[in-house]
Structure 1
Amino acid sequence: MTDLATRPDANESSDDETATIDATAQSDDTVETAPPEYEWAPTEPAPKKRHLWLWIGIPVAAVAVGVGVTSLFLIAPGTSIAGVPVGGLTPGAAAEAVQRQLDVTTIVLTGPGGDAEITGDELGATIDAKALADEAFAAHPAWNLTAWNPEATEVVVTLDPETATEALRAAVPSMYTDPTNATIAFDGASATYVVGPAVDGSGIDVASVQTALTDAFASGETTVDLAATMAAVPAEGTTSVAQATAGILNGMLDTAGFYVGEERTVPIDRATFASWLTVTPAERGTFAISADANAIQPMVDGLAGAVNRAPVDSTTIVNSSGRVLSTPTEGVVGRELGATDGIAKSFAEQIGAGNAAYALPVTEVPFTTTSLARMLEVDLSEQRLYVKENGNVVDSWPISSGTGSTPTYTGRYTIGYKTSVQTMNGYDRDAAGNITGTYSTPNVRWPMYFNGGQAFHGVYWHNNFGRTMSHGCVGMPEWRAQWIYNWAPSGTDVYIHN
Structure 2
Amino acid sequence: MTDGAPGTDGATYAWAPAEPKPRKNRSGLWIGIPAGATAVALIAASLVLIAPGASVAGVQIGGLTAGAAAQAIESRLAQTSVTVESPAGEVVVTGADLGATVDAAALADKAFADNPMWKPASWFPEGTGVTVQIDEAEAAAVLRDKAPGAYRAPVDATVAYDAGSQAYVTTPAEAGEGIDVATVAAALQSAFDAGTASTTVEATLVPVDAPVSTDEAAAAVGTLNGILDSAGFYIGDERTVTVDRATAASWLTVTPDGKGAFAISADEAAIQNVVGGLTAAVDRGAVNADVIVDTGGEVIHTITEGQTGRTLGDTAGIAAAFATQLAEGNGRYALTVAETPFETTKTERRIDVNLSTQTTTLWQNGQVYRTYTISSGAGDHATHTGEFRIGWKTAMQDMGCVPGYDYCTKDVPWVAYFNGDEGFHGTYWHNNFGTPMSHGCINMTIAQAKELYDWAYRGTEVSVHY
Residue type of the partner of 1:167?
Answer: V
Counterpart of 1:371?
A: 347
Q: Which moved more, 1:188-197 or 1:321-330?
A: 321-330
TM-score (norm: length of structure 1): 0.67
- Tell me the equivalent position of 2:139: 164
Q: Given residue 471 of structure 1, which amino acid in structure 2 is its aligned partner?
A: T
- Give deviations 1:434-489, integer Å, cap 9, x for gaps: xxxxxx99677558899xxxx997564689xxxx9752799985335422442356
> 1:358 — aligned with what?
333
* Residue 164 of structure 2 corresponds to residue 200 of structure 1: no
Conserved in 2, the CA contact under 8 Å of 1:415 and 1:449?
A: no
Distance 1:125 1:140 in 2: 26
State yes or no: 1:262 paired with 2:271.
Answer: no
1:247-326 equivalence runs, <5 A = 247-282=222-257, 284-317=259-292, 326=300
2: distance between equivalents of 1:230 and 1:422?
85
Q: Contact 2:80–2:191 (CA<8 Å) still a contact in 1?
A: yes
Correspondence 1:25-424 to 2 at 5 A: 40-45=15-20, 47-48=22-23, 55-282=30-257, 284-317=259-292, 326-327=300-301, 329-339=303-313, 340-362=315-337, 363-369=339-345, 371=347
Trace 1:448-487 onto structure 2 (pairs within 5 A).
Answer: 460=428, 470-471=434-435, 478-487=446-455
Residue 318 (structure 1) shift: 6.3
Q: Deviations over 1:396-432 (max 9, x none)?
A: 9xx8789xxxxxxxxxx999879877889xxxxxxxx
Q: Which runs of 5+ in 1 are unaligned?
A: 1-5, 10-37, 379-383, 403-412, 425-439
Aligned-partner residue type, residue 220 of structure 2: T
TM superposition shift of 1:243: 1.9
Q: Which residue of 2 aligns with 1:407?
A: none
Kindly tell me: are residues 325 and 484 of structure 1, through their superposed partners in 2, closer, same or farther at Cα, counting changes over 3 Å? farther
Partner AA of 1:479 in structure 2 = A
Per-residue deviation, residues 125-165 of structure 1 (Å, max 9, x unmatched): 22222233233333333344444333333333322223333
How far does residue 329 in structure 1 lie from its aligned partner after superposition? Answer: 0.9
Task: Give the letter aligned to residue 435 of structure 2.
Answer: H
Change (3 A) 1:386 1:139: closer
State the Cα distance separating 1:349 from its structure 2 match: 2.4
> 1:373-393: CA deviations, max 9, x gaps?
799999xxxxx9999977999
Instruction: Specify the alignment match of 2:381 in structure 1.
Output: none
SS in 2 for 1:285: coil
Q: Secondary structure at the match of 1:369?
A: strand
Task: Summarize the Cα distance change of 1:40–1:283 in structure 2 as closer, same or farther, 3 Å threshold.
Answer: same
Residues 214-266 of structure 1: CA deviation (Å, up to 9, x unaligned) = 33334443343444443333222122222222223333333333333333333
User: CA separation in 1, counterparts of 2:167 and 2:216?
Assistant: 17
Once superposed, what is the RMSD of the aligned Cα atoms?
Answer: 4.8
Q: 1:229 to 1:417 in 2, by over 3 A?
A: closer
SS in 1 for 2:254: strand
Mapped to 2, the partners of 1:415 and 1:143 lie a distance apart of 108
* Aligned equivalent of 2:382: none
1:129–1:42 Cα change, 3 Å: same
Distance 1:449 1:102 in 2: 96
- 1:458 and 1:478 in contact (8 A); partners too: yes
1:357 Cα deviation after fit: 2.7
Q: CA deviation at 1:198?
A: 1.7
Report the Cα offset of residue 492 of structure 1: 8.0
Give the Cα–Cα distance (whole angstroms) in 2 for the partners of residues 345 and 237 of structure 1.
30
Q: Quote the Cα distance in structure 2 between the aligned partners of 1:477 and 1:81.
A: 112
Could you say if the C-alpha distance between residues 150 and 330 of structure 1 is closer, same or farther in structure 2, counting changes exceeding 3 Å? same
Question: Does the 8 Å CA contact 1:331/1:367 hold for their aligned counterparts?
Answer: no
CA distance in 1, matches of 2:304, 2:274: 31
Equivalent position amino acid for 1:183 in 2? T
Report SS of the residue matched to 1:371. strand
| Structure 2 match to 1:24 | none
Q: Measure, in 2, the Cα distance between the counterparts of 1:63 and 1:129.
A: 31
3-state SS of paired residue (1:289): strand
The separation in 1 between residues aligned to 2:397 and 2:181, in whole angstroms, is 91
CA deviation after TM superposition for structure 1 residue 184, in Å: 1.8
Aligned to 2:6: none
Q: Deviations along 1:49-74, whole A, 9 cap, x unmatched?
A: 76756644553454345434433333
Distance 1:477 1:236, change over 3 A: same
Deviation at 1:281, TM superposition (A): 1.5
Query: Could you tell me how far 1:333 is from its partner in structure 2?
Result: 0.9
Q: Aligned partners of 1:376, 1:134: CA distance in 2, in Å? A: 103
Q: 1:317 to 1:245 in 2, by over 3 A?
A: closer
Aligned amino acid, residue 303 of structure 2: T
Structure number with bigger Rg: 1
Deviation at residue 366 of structure 1 after TM alignment: 1.1
TM-score, normalised via structure 2 length: 0.71
Once the two structures are TM-superposed, the CA of residue 304 in structure 1 deviates from its matched residue by 4.1
Measure the CA separation in 1 of the matches of 2:417 and 2:63: 121
Asked if the contact 1:377/1:388 (under 8 Å) is kept, the reply is: no
Residues in 2 aligned to 1:102 and 1:391: alpha-carbon distance in whole angstroms: 102
Q: Sort the Cα spacing of 1:73 and 1:470 in 2 relative to 1 into closer, same or farther, 3 A.
A: closer
Distance change >3 Å, CA 44–CA 272, structure 1 → 2: same
Identical pairs, percent: 44
Instruction: Name the SS for the 1:351 alignment partner.
Output: helix
Mapped contact 2:415–2:424 kept (Cα < 8 A): yes
Alpha carbons of structure 1 residues 87 and 491: separation in structure 2 relative to 1, 3 Å: closer
Count residues with an aligned counterpart.
429
